[in-house]
Structure 1
Amino acid sequence: MTLNRRNFARTAACAALAPAALAAAEPQASSKPQDSGGRRGNPIAVSTYSFWRFKDDSKLSIQQCIDEAARMGFDSVEILHIQMESEDPGYLQRLKQQAFINGLSLCGLSTHQGFVSPDAAVRQKNIDHTIHTIELAYQLGIPTMRVNTGRWGTSGSFDDLMANRGIEPSLPGYSDDDAFAWVIDSFEKCLPAAEKCGVTLGLENHWGLSRTPEGVLKIVDAIDSPWLQCTLDTGNFLEDPYDKLELMAPKTVFVQAKTYYGGGLWYSLDLDYDRIAAMLRQHDYRGFVSLEFEGEESYKTAIPKSLALLRNALNG
């Protein structure tokens, strides 16, 4: 065929129209992100507490816990602060390096503090401690830290508190309203350090004022900061846990999952992790779930069983 001027123009026009026609015939890509249908499961961590459980004969070092977590197949490790042997910078960096070499992250630091005291000096001591541990989390590269309200301390020992199902009376002359004001004020003084260090605080349902979801949320809602949210512990609501866990779920940034193989140290709960996992998915919780094994069985057998239980529920 002779490519004269008329044929050239016709050919060029067809060539220009061809991509448009092809695009019209194909499904158009949406500007909205599409769900691939392959939502990943939650990464599963283990708390170093799971290897110790305050038992006199089984306090593994953090280094040993990291090695065991890697061997058992966990994704990450949550560190219990009082289990640490040192706070020296060299020790902290060795922990970070050991986790890295084992292919693990350090996802959480679990701390203790108590702001339920009429003594301003006691509260300030706990504020200073909390800020200090926020800075430790920053040095370890840990993004979230479990925090507590503290409690009245009128029960005596923790065993007595557990015998009373976590309920204890206030100090004479004071009320829970006083205590909520102390706790809210104390956390507000910790938040600048949390924001500066990039460490999200997670207030756990952990006795004291945080024994109920309403108590946790009263504090979190009053402070109204992205740097104080919720750590949800599946084993700290002793009756009818599921509705209570769901109340906290929308503001949850970290989950601690209890198991009790061999019978619980203080109590045992028969938790339905399929139900809990479905609830977390409903609230689009994509974060870490950290195992807190709290039973009498040897950690060597109970922790792998617990990991399998959580994998099946959360990632099945």
Structure 2
Amino acid sequence: MSYLSLSTWSLHRLLGPLRWTVWDADGERHIVNEQDQPQALTLLQLPAEAARRGYSAVEICHFHFPGTDPAYLNELREAFRSSGIRFDTLLLDYGDLTAKDSKRLSEDLALMRRWIDAAALCGARQIRIVAGEADGSDDAALAQSAKNLRELAVYAKGKHVTIVTENFKALTATGDRCRELSALTQPEVRWITDFGNFSGARKYDELDMLLPHSVSVHAKAQYDDRGLPDRAEFELCLDRAIGSGFDGAYVLIYDGPGDMWEGLARIKTIVESRLNEAQ
């Protein structure tokens, strides 16, 4: 049965510093650049707050973690357990499975395995791995991504974590490429469908290609400069998901201006209304 979730990206102006992982090509190593943001809420407080506001699950972006030491990860796991909601997905936003530089690829894969370990410790059911940054027309890159995703899936399975990927960044920018990659990685790898990451005349057909393989959707609307969603366009996306038989998490994404909880509340009302009408 479908349920409502939220991503910490929807609260990124409330959760404190953003810790962006980048590749230092000169030093051949990862570095973390910290972007200051206000902190009105900690990750440890978030599960209870999300539950209070009517959500059943949460997704956490890796750059919101203040640390990954076992003691902290156990605290986070307990925060979810005591709140009664699920930690569905750890969203790893860094990493290029299609990197041509062998050193970077090796280091990125090692970092991904460390985040899989972290996901297991804090109780995340799955981890989102970006399929790759290579151009979508690169067949060799697609094959490389599929191979690495399958190998990571084997590693993650041993930790009781599932690998998911998404129509996110260049390699999976089209529905056709997502479908091809899905065929190469089934059944080990599942998908997140992001409403906002396809565009153009084929957008809704591309959503149809990916939704049957997805465990969650990123329910992202288009917002005006007041933070108001384009309701008609958003409902078209929701109707494609409902019509496909999708039966997973609707993860609400608000990245517009103004109060982020208020922005989430506006799209939450639309999603709940659409789902109720479909019952």
Q: What TM-score do the two structures reach when normalised by structure 2?
A: 0.81
Code of the residue aligned with 2:122 in structure 1: it is L
Distance 1:191 1:294, change over 3 A: same
Alignment of 1:146-295 (within 5 A): 146-152=128-134, 176-224=138-186, 226-240=187-201, 241-261=203-223, 263=225, 272-295=233-256
Distance 1:264 1:61, change over 3 A: farther
Deviations 1:264-316 (A, max 9, x none): 99xx8766344333333333222111112111121131112222122112234
Code of the residue aligned with 2:183 in structure 1: it is D
Code of the residue aligned with 2:101 in structure 1: it is D
Contact 2:222 2:234 in 1 (8 A): no
Deviations 1:79-109 (A, max 9, x none): 1111111111221121122222222211111
Alignment of 1:1-316 (within 5 A): 40=1, 42-52=2-12, 56-58=36-38, 60-112=41-93, 113-152=95-134, 176-224=138-186, 226-240=187-201, 241-261=203-223, 263=225, 272-316=233-277
Percent identity over the alignment is 24
Structure 1 runs of 4+ off > 4 angstroms? 53-56, 268-271
- Residues of 1 paired with 2:191 and 2:139: CA distance? 21
Question: Any stretches of 5+ residues in structure 2 without a counterpart?
Answer: 19-34
Deviations 1:145-169 (A, max 9, x none): 22212314xxxxxxxxxxxxxxxx7
- Residues of 1 paired with 2:226 and 2:143: CA distance? 34
Q: CA RMSD in A?
A: 2.6
**How many aligned residue pairs are there?**
253
By how many angstroms is 1:260 displaced?
4.6
- Residues of 1 paired with 2:77 and 2:104: CA distance? 32
By how many angstroms is 1:177 displaced?
2.3
- Residues of 1 paired with 2:200 and 2:9: CA distance? 24
Q: Which has the higher strand share?
A: 2
Code of the residue aligned with 1:236 in structure 2: it is N
SS at match of 2:100: coil
